[in-house]
Amino acid sequence: MMPDLIEEDKKIIEFSGISFKGDRAGDFFQQNSQIELLKSLHPGLEILDIETALREFPELKEYYCKALSAAGKDFDRDTRGGYFIRVRKNVKIDSPIQACLFLKAQGFKQKVHNLIILEEGAEATLITGCSASKSASESIHVGISEFFIGRNAKLNFTMIHSWNEDTFVRPITAAVVDDNGIFTSNYVCLRSVKDVYMHPTAILNGRNAGAFFSSLILCHPESKFDIGSNSIMMARDAHTEINTRVASLGGEVISRGNITALSSKSRGHLECNGLLLSDEGSIKAIPELETKFRDVELSHEAAIGRIKKEEIEYLQSRGFDEKSAREFIVKGFMDVNVLKVPDFLKEQINDAKGNIFSRQQ
């Protein structure tokens, strides 16, 4: 059952990829600091609020804050709320697990700590929708998330932001990946926000461990993003990819990426593409590759540009007016296929993208 919300807030939440209809493995919903919905619909899945989980499972002390410390993250332990998700050994969950962190009160500072564990051989898809009601002006969201991906386990994690134009956002994310484990992280932000500062880190501790980061960002006027993904390959045959697409309608974007190879036979690729749609906007790409081993393969590509006059003219010759031609080019650049998300979620993101661009007309 969906929490009791006004229709306007329901639409905002759905814009962040959260749906309370259809097939789901589990739900978590927190409004401000109050948990409104928490349930597991799969026998191999545990979902609890983080405080209850730490009381009931003493073994979680071996995980709590350990990924953050390993990644060298600075964080505030003074949190309230957040979720604990664990998928048991060799359990493969086909339906998505979803968690929503919602801001409702004006000036509220939401600080949560999330802990996600996939035991050996487990597989799951997790969608986190972070959003704010129109009444939650001048609010702050600090979301701390730790992921532990066991041997041969796979997690596809998607975080979609749907904030207000004056929301400050500070996600702090670290993932530890064991032998043959795969951590896939997708980030989407298409609506206006005041300020986002986030640099998720994956630590590939196990042999043949993999991490894949993909981001799709539309930066509005007056918005600022300082984003970047980091992969630290600690073991032989580790592999990683980082792919970021950014379009600026007038805001400021700094796109960082770092791949560090601390073991032999590892490989990684980093790619950042930026599209400037206004003379008022700015995009800065900062790719970094680091290793001391001769037998690793690391590469990067970075490109920033504007819509070319020739592209507009070509589409006009095919019957597009100038506005429609620009929209067609930008929609193609903001292609959801750069994300490694399920098809149903690609459809939701495409619909949201269409609504955003229609408002720009």
Q: Which range marks the domain in which residue 21 is found?
A: 7-306
Q: How confident is the model at residue 354 (pLDDT cuts 50, 70, 90)?
A: low
Question: CA torsion angle for 129, 135, 140, 145 (degrees, to 10)?
Answer: -20
The answer to whether the beta carbons of residues 209 and 240 sit under 8 Å apart is no
- Does residue 191 sit in the same domain as residue 244? yes
- Judge contact between 122 and 87, C-beta under 8 A: yes
Q: What is d(CA 137, CA 139) in angstroms, rounded to the nearest whole number? A: 5
Quick one: 355 and 222 in the same domain?
A: no
DSSP assigned state of 254: E
How far, in Å, CA of 192 to CA of 218, rounded?
8
The verdict on 144 and 271 lying in the same domain is: yes
Q: pLDDT tens digits for 50-104?
A: 999 999 999 999 999 999 999 999 888 889 999 999 999 999 999 999 999 999 9
Q: Could you read off the pLDDT of 313-335 as tens digits, one per residue?
A: 888 888 888 888 887 888 888 88
Residue 68 lies inside a defined structural domain of this protein = yes
**Are 226 and 81 in a shared domain?**
yes
In a domain, 265, yes or no: yes
pTM over 0.85: yes
Residues 51 and 81: their CA atoms lie apart, in Å, by 7
Which of 325, 284, 320 minimizes the C-alpha distance to 308?
325
The predicted structure's pLDDT at residue 1: 53
pLDDT band at 361 (very low <50, low <70, confident <90, very high): very low
Q: Which of 266, 289, 306 is the last residue of a domain?
A: 306
Residues 239 and 315 in one domain: no
**What pLDDT sits at residue 77?**
86
Residue-averaged pLDDT of the chain: 92
> pLDDT value at position 308?
85
Alpha helices in the chain (DSSP H): 7-15, 50-56, 66-70, 309-317, 322-333, 343-359
Please determine, for residue 3, whether its predicted confidence score (pLDDT) is greater than 80: no
For the chain, the maximum distance between any two Cα atoms, rounded to a whole number of angstroms, is: 67
Distances (CA, A) of 232 to 56, 157, 211, 269, 277: 32, 18, 9, 12, 34
> Is 237 in the same domain as 348?
no
CA angle 300, 271, 277 (to 5 degrees): 130
Amino acid identity of residue 340, one-letter, is: K
Q: How would you classify the pairing of strands 34-40 and 26-31?
A: antiparallel
Q: Is residue 186 part of a domain?
A: yes
Considering the domain architecture, whether residues 223 and 340 belong to the same structural domain is answered as no
Q: Are 188 and 223 members of one domain?
A: yes
Same domain, 193 and 342: no
Are residue 302 and residue 351 in the same domain, yes or no?
no
Would 231 be classed as within a structural domain? yes
Q: Over 80: is that where the pLDDT of 342 sits?
A: yes
Query: What confidence score (pLDDT) does residue 158 get?
Result: 97
pLDDT in tens, 191-226: 999 999 999 999 999 999 999 999 999 999 999 999
Q: For residues 13 and 146, what is the distance between their CA atoms, to the nearest angstrom?
A: 23
For the chain, what is the domain count?
2
% of the chain beyond a pLDDT of 90: 75
| 89 within some domain | yes
User: In 10 A of CB 56, how many CB atoms?
Assistant: 11
Of 141, 62, 48, 59, nearest to 97 (Cα)? 48
Residue-level pLDDT at 45: 98
- Single out the residue in 306, 327, 348 at which a domain terminates: 306
Residues 300, 315: one domain? no
Do residues 273 and 290 share a domain? yes
For residue 2, being part of any structural domain is answered with: no
Q: What is the pLDDT of residue 309?
A: 85
Evaluate if residue 136 carries a pLDDT over 70: yes
Q: Which of 306, 333, 348 is the last residue of a domain?
A: 306
- For residue 359, the model assigns a pLDDT of 56
1 within domain boundaries = no
pLDDT in tens, 241-275: 999 999 999 999 999 999 999 999 999 999 999 99
